[in-house]
Structure 1
Amino acid sequence: MRYKEFTIEGRNAVLEAFRSGKTIDKLFVLDGCQDGPVKSIIREAKKTDTIINFVDKERLDRLAGTGHHQGVVAQAAAYEYAEVEDILKAAKDKGEAPFIFILDEIEDPHNLGAIIRTANQAGAHGVIIPKRRAVGLTATVAKTSAGAINYTPVAKVTNISKTIEDLKKQGMWFVCADMDGTTMYDLNLTGPIGLVIGNEGSGVGRLVKEKCDFVASIPMKGDIDSLNASVAAGVLAYEIVRQRMTK
């Protein structure tokens, strides 16, 4: 299966991965390593959106698993990323108002996989994730999505706030999940909508939250104050589904 190739280690293998056009999310290089082959790899990485991290040998050994990394480990995307335009086109082709999930720094691959699965079942046209401080399309994400990753496009953007601004200009509006918001049942969640779900610990970032039109809260009846990020995404997504169906 495609996602077994996720971690690439060794100088020749990593350089070949870049030159073949494989999507590399992150490159890890032994700190202080500056010889010719490593410089070539870094030069190739800088031509792309790859995030370059300089790390110590212990970190590289943990990432590699085999110990034969020669000072470089690459993490390749298990699946190709889409463009934001592809997601909008998917909505247009179906004759539907766009429904997009925007994820602000989701770091747990199980959460991302579960959210992609939910997005698919809820009829969302795609998922947008940030390049930094967030998990990419890893093998674990692919497996947790239970196949949904094959059908629901995922786009990776540099700046979530700017992406929201750009989509607003195209007629979309945005609702983010936050405990301090208005109860989701009291909001009109129909039309071209983006559902913003925040980081597992800190929630939606302040700058992203300020760009949202509405802040929605999920009624909480229990003794703790939050839901798992993927569960919260599912609960809100299906309120959007309900409202779109009854519109």
Structure 2
Amino acid sequence: MKKIAIAVLALVSSIANAGELYNNGPVVGSNGLSAIAPNATTFGFGDQSNVGNFVADDFTITVGKSWDISSLSFYGYQTGATGFSFTSATWSIVSGNDVNTGTVVAFGTTDVTNGGLAGYRVTDTTLNDTQRRIFKVDADITDITLASGHYWLAWGLAGTGVSGPWQPPTSDARQGNAAQATGGGAFAQLVESGSDLSVELPFAVNGTVSAVPEPETYAMLLAGLGLIGLARRRARI
């Protein structure tokens, strides 16, 4: 009977696992730096929510999974700020293949907390420059549940620094489909002006991922619970 109980517990634990659900990083390299890529000229992309500047990138929840999202993590800097200077994140989650025409399934403006100094945005000739401190910006949101599918996360940040907030690309300089909206306009693919290459943006989605059990799995779970209950009743006789 103990083996049955252990099997049931293992089955239940496999249905939900808490932690980081998705990370679109890396933010910095192993040296703690995010260096501007060769031929690139842009330190950071504007995502100042107070003037209608936002960025967006996508993620996918695989078939058979469901995410219970409890927080979002962003990464940004304000040039010249010596400490954490961010105050809020304005964000939305859009379901669909196009961030402009998809369905908004969740949104909000959320106070943020300091997730820690991630590193520095530099050039390959100014590796010791500390003007652009990249911070992890954590936003605890009201829990939302997303089914499998393709989604976009759009966001803008607010802060007390005199410059920015600015959004660095992923430190591996890989190409992707990140987008930017300026002045409250529509999103367009984000392209680095110097290299003329597309970019990806670092962010993370946190919470609980749950597998959607097959009918046979539910049957096994119910049968196991039934056997445990029967054993307990017999033990009392």
Sort the TM-score into its range (normalised by shorter chain).
Answer: under 0.3
Which structure carries more helix by proportion? 1
TM-score calculated relative to the size of structure 1: 0.24
Tell me the TM-score normalised to structure 2 length.
Answer: 0.25
Report which structure shows greater RCO (CA 8 Å, sep ≥6): 2
Higher strand proportion, which one? Answer: 2
Rg bigger for which structure? Answer: 2
